[in-house]
Amino acid sequence: MSRFGLVIFTSLLIAACGPKQLEPDADFECSNCEDWNRPQEPFRLYGNTWYVGTAGLSSILIETDGGLILIDGGLPQSAAVIDTNIRSAGFDPSQISAILVSHAHFDHAGGVAALQRVTGAAVYSSVEGAKALRSGELQSDDPQFLHGPDNTSYAAIKNVIAIADRDIVTIGNVDVTAVYTPGHTPGGVSWSWESCALGTCYDVVYADSLTAVSAVGYRFSAGPAANQLIESAGTIAELDCDILLSPHPFFFGMQDKLERREEGNPFVNNVACMFYAESSLDWLEQRLKSEGKEKIDPAIIGDW
């Protein structure tokens, strides 16, 4: 075979292997999965920050001068969609150096193993989150633990690096800070970084889910999760935050904001994190009422 022929053959082989590497062993099935995994055209949020996720599950790409950073990987069947979006946005997925995970549930971490196979990237999470990611199974203290892996497990992830609260992941010229925000899961992490364009810089916060949802039989009023959610809401409310993002795009009103982009950049809102935190407390209060507890004690919230 000539050198030219060998190059063509190798290129075709690589192209053929890429999609296969991204195929899950089986699509994860849930009542919302099909809707969550609907395609979404990728777009620039601001500066070095891009949305490359699906219509219902966020995945964020950050450009740096030393590689790319990806936050969250959606469902197992989302990996191929995310890979396509990254390429459509003009980037090479093989340049991803780090994959950051908000929390280790199947709808945000399920596609990470496949994306890691393609990129070779290290995966970063909290100490508690890393335990679940390495096993592919929820830990027993997770509010959504279902007393077994059948409905919650996904492919175990290799090369997971556990980092401490307020530790920084640095790739090239970008520093991303890990902010522990447990409650929705014991290992929940929010991520923050600075994004600049034309001399104007904004603080971006990828705030982890703060919803009080659980498996049947779990009581937030009987365990640590309620107080964790309250503390995490306070933490997010106090962050420097000009652009709010979150694992589910409807929590930051993505579709509505996309429809208003001709008015400027509606994603820039320096009180969005405060509103996000307050809405999470409203959700928690409704949950506690359903469990027979009247309301959240204002003394626990403090004065944030």
Query: Where exactly are the structural domains of the chain?
Result: 27-294
Distance CA 292, CA 24 (A): 42
This prediction's pTM:
0.89
Q: What pLDDT is attached to residue 26?
A: 59
Q: What pLDDT is attached to residue 284?
A: 96
Place of tokens 């991803």: 96
Arithmetic mean of pLDDT, 5-28: 51
More reliable by pLDDT, 139 or 54: 54
Q: What pLDDT is attached to residue 94?
A: 96
Q: What pLDDT is attached to residue 9?
A: 37
Pairing between β-strand 243-245 and β-strand 200-206 as defined by DSSP bridges: parallel
Arithmetic mean of pLDDT, 142-152: 72
What integer best gives the mean pLDDT of the chain?
89
3-state helix, strand, coil in the chain (%, to 5): 35, 20, 45
Q: What pLDDT is attached to residue 25?
A: 55
Backbone angles phi, psi at 162, to 5 degrees: -85, 125
134 pLDDT exceeds 90? yes
Backbone angles phi, psi at 220, to 5 degrees: -65, -30
Arithmetic mean of pLDDT, 169-179: 98
179 pLDDT exceeds 70? yes
Q: Give the pLDDT band (50/70/90) at residue 102.
A: very high
29 pLDDT exceeds 90? no
Could you list the beta-strand ranges (E) of the chain: 43-46, 49-51, 60-64, 67-71, 96-100, 122-125, 160-162, 168-171, 174-180, 189-197, 200-206, 243-245
CB 114 within 8 A of CB 155: yes
CB 233 within 8 A of CB 210: yes
3 pLDDT exceeds 60? no
Does the annotation mark 105 as catalytic? yes
> Would the CA dihedral through 96, 99, 100, 101 be positive or negative?
positive
Catalytic residue among 27, 167, 203, 218: 218
Place of tokens 């800070």: 177
Number of neighbours of residue 156 by Cβ within 10 angstroms? 13
**How crowded is the C-beta side of 298, counted as CA atoms within 13 Å?**
1
Catalytic residue among 103, 202, 206, 208: 103
Q: Which residues of 95-111 are buried (b: 16+ CB within 10 A; e: fewer)?
A: ebbbbbbbbbbbbbbbb
Does the annotation mark 147 as catalytic? no
What interhelical angle do 3-22 and 79-88 show, nearest 10? 130
CB 86 within 8 A of CB 71: no
Backbone angles phi, psi at 51, to 5 degrees: -95, 120
Q: Which residues of 222-254 are buried (b: 16+ CB within 10 A; e: fewer)?
A: eeebbebbbbbbbbbbebebbbbbbbbbebbbb
Q: What pLDDT is attached to residue 21?
A: 72
Catalytic residue among 108, 154, 242, 276: 108
pLDDT above 70 coverage of the chain, percent: 86
89 pLDDT exceeds 80? yes
Catalytic residue among 184, 206, 208, 242: 184
Catalytic residue among 27, 165, 167, 248: 248
Q: What pLDDT is attached to residue 162?
A: 98
294 pLDDT exceeds 70? no
Q: Indicate the class that CATH gives domain 27-294.
A: alpha beta
Q: Give the pLDDT band (50/70/90) at residue 150.
A: low
Report the amino acid identity of residue 188.
G
Does the annotation mark 108 as catalytic? yes
